[in-house]
Chain A
């Protein structure tokens, strides 16, 4: 297994938010984290990335205990793809992507020809080479998200962590992004992403970690985890999971919050 979590605990100060999470994912997996607001998804990400120290359990990537690694060594194993953002300074796309090389350079080194080539190669992998010399700040949200993925590829980590990549994107950009994520998995990367909507793991996830109050409510393949019973247990409302066939004959899963007509949710 590439990524293994065992009884991981952690939080802020004395407040423990993640209370013993175990799961695992391998090359080519898309592990989706699903759960209501405040269930500990973001905290788990921070623990994974080493931004927060774990207070218990262990996180291993490629067999290495992450808490024993320097930030630099950790960056060579796991990369973070934030939601697209707007930096204060008008960097070019190339400037942004090449920042992914930081963990490969010593403190006094600036990126060289090899690093630029790596950046171009990464941009090509997300079909964004034509944007290389444009201002990152002038791109659309979807394009910026692609550039941040290219930066992670350029970092040459094996595990990618994406925090709510679908948030704030319209349908077209969302679909494009999901294609890129599926493509990353095909190339052998392990993608860990959090999402608000249980439909995403059902469509592209290979594994789902359903969380509730800092603990694992269910973990496994989407068809086993995304069930009305599990979703109801986690979200506290009744949910239907329906399978529909789209116009091209592809089976799609959709999740619907439901309530008995005339009843109010208390």
Chain B
């Protein structure tokens, strides 16, 4: 066969392999969801899961423990949905930022979204707000921090990516100082505990109502990035190069910053700080499907969703008391980071 035909055939093979891989990931994800319903003090079997689900559609719950229905709808379902969406959102935001900043070690917090959210949440807790208000304040805080980073960076004469990184770390430092200040003045018997607990990152506060509030910006951000995903490739090239390829690079950068910020802010306000997911998952996805963002974004979303779901299962089943999931992801993430640093640069 002439080289052209051979190469076309192997390119087609790579595409087929990608599609198969997506289907496999989907199947594994479905299995992980069923497993997560089972994990916990009350084991929900797949049969019970289906029956409990059908009760809402008006089917009779013949022979089903009423507790199973409550646990399904009020405890496991919102938690599993939250884990799936947070995992997908953080991973997609991380992958997008890594492309935009042309740096594989970037995580979604780079523009200060988590610190801003922490400040917003701490402030709301200090003022005695209810949990939905705290969620809203965290979301707003995250968005404001990124907006500030972006607006200040536009005044800088340096290249846009460099200025964004600089202003982002400045905003982060400022917000962290604010959080420390609030913790310092907070009542240690009550408010301080709440703040510390919030900052730890946990899915225990993810009930259905909180989830439904967060899922709106998440769906918005995910679909925006999903639709534009191939364009992220162009942003990984030099600014001049991207422009000569016909891309209005600054406009796309704004769109991707907005979308990623919606994703990370909505995640943080639902669960508090969960680190490392946005850094780790895109790497794993790249190893599986290659660097092309057309494939990387869907793969990152699926892997991230599955990963966070399993980490949450670990968090709630490993010990008799529940571990904060932020701790679990950090324990898993730090060694991974070390591995990234020491592994040989792939050719």
**A interface, CB within 8 angstroms of B:** 46, 49-51, 70-76, 78-80, 82, 85, 87-92, 94-95, 99-100, 102-103, 105, 107-111, 116, 120, 124, 129-130, 132-133, 135, 137-138, 155, 161
Which one of A73, A75, A138 lies within 8 Å of B245 (CB-CB)? A75
Which one of A88, A129, A130, A138 lies within 8 Å of B104 (CB-CB)? A88
List B273-308 residues whose CB lies under 8 Å from chain A: 286, 290-292, 294
* Chain B contacts for A137, CB-based, 8 A: 347
| B8 interfacial by beta-carbon distance below 8 Å | yes
Interface size of B by Cβ–Cβ distance < 8 Å? 37
The complex places the Cα of A40 from the Cα of B153 at a distance, in Å, of 28
Nearest chain A CB to B254 CB, angstrom units: 13
The interface stretch among B41-49, B68-76, B227-235 is B227-235
The reply to whether A79 and B244 contact each other, CB–CB distance below 8 Å, is yes
The complex places the Cα of A92 from the Cα of B289 at a distance, in Å, of 11
The reply to whether B246 and A87 contact each other, CB–CB distance below 8 Å, is no
Per CB-CB distance, the 3 closest pairs between chain A and chain B, nearest first, are A75-B246, A103-B246, A80-B244
* Chain A contacts for B11, CB-based, 8 A: 94, 116, 132-133
12 contacts between A and B (CB under 8 A): A49-B244, A82-B241, A85-B238, A90-B291, A90-B347, A91-B233, A95-B233, A107-B231, A110-B229, A111-B230, A129-B3, A132-B11
Secondary structure dominating the interface of B: helix
The complex places the Cα of A135 from the Cα of B233 at a distance, in Å, of 15
The reply to whether B294 and A110 contact each other, CB–CB distance below 8 Å, is yes
The reply to whether A76 and B246 contact each other, CB–CB distance below 8 Å, is yes
The reply to whether B234 and A99 contact each other, CB–CB distance below 8 Å, is yes
* Chain A contacts for B104, CB-based, 8 A: 88-89
Kindly supply a per-residue 1/0 record for chain B positions 216-238, scoring 1 wherever the CB is within 8 Å of any chain A CB and 0 otherwise.
Answer: 00000000000111110110111
* Chain B contacts for A46, CB-based, 8 A: 240
Which one of B7, B8, B238, B244 lies within 8 Å of A78 (CB-CB)? B244
Which one of B4, B228, B246, B286 lies within 8 Å of A71 (CB-CB)? B246
Residue of B nearest to A111 (CB): B230
